[in-house]
Amino acid sequence: MTSFTMDAKWLPFHPSPAKPSYIVPHGSVDAHCHVFGPGTQFPFAPERKYTPCDASKNQLFALRDHLGFSRNVVVQASCHGADNSALVDALQSSEGLARGVATIKNDVSDGELTALHEAGVRGVRFNFVKRLVDSLPFADLQSIADRIAPMGWHIVIYFEADDLAEYYDFFTALPTTVVVDHMGRPDVNAPLEGGRFDLFMKLMAENNNFWTKVSCPDRISKLGPPDYADVIPFARRVVEAFPDRVLWGTDWPHPNMKSHMPDDGNLLEFIPNIAGTEELQRKLLVDNPMRLYWPEESVDS
Ligand code: 0GY
């Protein structure tokens, strides 16, 4: 049995988040969260760039209930590489209330893809953040995209704002729905209009197959908690421009946070600040994630 020690600079997730004063709509989905290990049961990948704290499926489900969410979308984190065992275990224990986004390599077999689908996986993640992974060659990513497209899966992409121009043509040629993590990590000190964020808005405006998560103000903000006020105009602009193609997630257990650890209860206060009407909140938290992850149960698919 291997045991792991969390990186010294890492902050563990908040042990007792506040009860949120913002009440999410009935049936809300936390569409971006992770499970880590426990490392003794699901060892972290040898090629990982960080060693996290353990963050188990039961702790995730307890947080879901505490915050008032109904369902989770669990995204494979880089510390588990392409071994999706902890993710699959969480999905299988969720009684249908969690779906997943996996990381795979292009030597994955058809049988493995079918097993992932049966467990509740509905997408793959392509991670281009250099501090997190050694990215796969584009040819490998293209071959994965071509394999998963007929299964009705989508692709989640994670990249830093500086790299969007370089990857733009590859991204826009992808054959599936594509979900951009955390609005492409905008520089919120740059202008909302007339700066680099224009390219992200163009990506969304000109490609109807692109969705985005307006999540992780805690990562993006320079001002920090409790309001993450500098992220609000960016996220609000995206929600209002693309109300049917946005998702939101807690990002629990908040990998790689070193300056502060958000209180997940407080984090929910961000939602009404970026989605100002009940209709926008329902689309963001219920209708959109249900259409993407539980289309068979969605009322508006
Ligand atoms: C996130 C963000 C991060 C980490 C990962 O896979 C991961 O390790 O996603 C990050 O460090 O920015 O989306 O959870």
3 state SS of 290: helix
Strand partners, 156: 125, 179
List pLDDT tens digits, range 19-29: 999 999 999 99
Type of residue found at 3: S
Q: What is the mean pLDDT of residues 69-80?
A: 97
Q: Specify the pLDDT at position 301.
A: 56
Measured by CA distance, the residue closest to atom 11 of ligand 1 is: 256
pLDDT over 90 percentage in the chain? 93
Q: Specify the pLDDT at position 296.
A: 93
Q: Where is pLDDT greater, at 238 or 134?
A: 238
Q: Which atom of ligand 1 is nearest to the CA of 52?
A: 8
- In our burial notation (b when 16+ CB lie closer than 10 A, e otherwise), range 150-181 reads ebebbbbbbbebeebeeeeeebeebebbbbbb
Rg of the chain taking only CA atoms, in angstroms: 18
DSSP state of 275: S
Type of residue found at 77: A
Whole-number Å distance, alpha carbon 234 to ligand 1 midpoint, is: 20
Q: Specify the pLDDT at position 8.
A: 84
Rounded to whole angstroms, how far apart are CA atoms 156 and 210?
10
Whole-number Å distance, alpha carbon 33 to ligand 1 midpoint, is: 10
| Contact by Cβ (8 Å): 194, 202 | no
Residue 299 has pLDDT above 80, yes or no: no
Q: Is the pTM of this model over 0.85?
A: yes
Tell me which residues have their CB closer than 6 angstroms to ligand 1. 77-79, 132, 181, 219, 251, 255-256
Measured by CA distance, the residue closest to atom 6 of ligand 1 is: 77
Measured by CA distance, the residue closest to atom 3 of ligand 1 is: 255
Whole-number Å distance, alpha carbon 35 to ligand 1 midpoint, is: 12
List pLDDT tens digits, range 227-284: 999 999 999 999 999 999 999 999 999 999 988 999 999 999 999 999 999 999 999 9
Query: What CATH number matches the domain at 29-293, 2.30.29.30, 3.30.56.10, 3.30.428.10, 3.20.20.140?
Result: 3.20.20.140
So where are the chain's domains? 29-293
Whole-number Å distance, alpha carbon 77 to ligand 1 midpoint, is: 6
pLDDT over 70 percentage in the chain? 99
Residues designated catalytic: 251
Whole-number Å distance, alpha carbon 299 to ligand 1 midpoint, is: 31
Q: Specify the pLDDT at position 298.
A: 81
pLDDT band at 300 (very low <50, low <70, confident <90, very high): low
List pLDDT tens digits, range 201-228: 999 999 999 999 999 999 999 999 999 9
Q: What is the mean pLDDT of residues 148-152?
A: 97
Q: Which of 49, 134, 158, 259 to mutate to test the pocket of ligand 1 (most atoms within 8 A of CB)?
A: 158
Q: Which atom of ligand 1 is nearest to the CA of 125?
A: 6
Strand partners, 213: 247
pLDDT band at 2 (very low <50, low <70, confident <90, very high): confident
pLDDT band at 140 (very low <50, low <70, confident <90, very high): very high
Q: Which atom of ligand 1 is nearest to the CA of 182?
A: 13
Strand order across the 29-33 sheet = 29-33, 71-75, 98-102, 121-127, 154-158, 178-180, 210-213, 246-247
Rounded to whole angstroms, how far apart are CA atoms 185 and 206?
19
Residue 70, CA distances (Å) to 21, 94, 126, 224 in order: 17, 11, 26, 28
Q: What is the mean pLDDT of residues 120-135?
A: 94
| Contact by Cβ (8 Å): 218, 228 | yes
Q: Specify the pLDDT at position 3.
A: 84
Measured by CA distance, the residue closest to atom 5 of ligand 1 is: 77
Helices and strands (H, E) in the chain, number of each type: 12, 8
Residue spans of alpha helices (H) in the chain = 57-67, 85-92, 110-119, 138-148, 164-172, 197-206, 217-220, 232-241, 264-267, 270-274, 278-282, 288-293
Mean pLDDT computed over every residue of the chain: 96
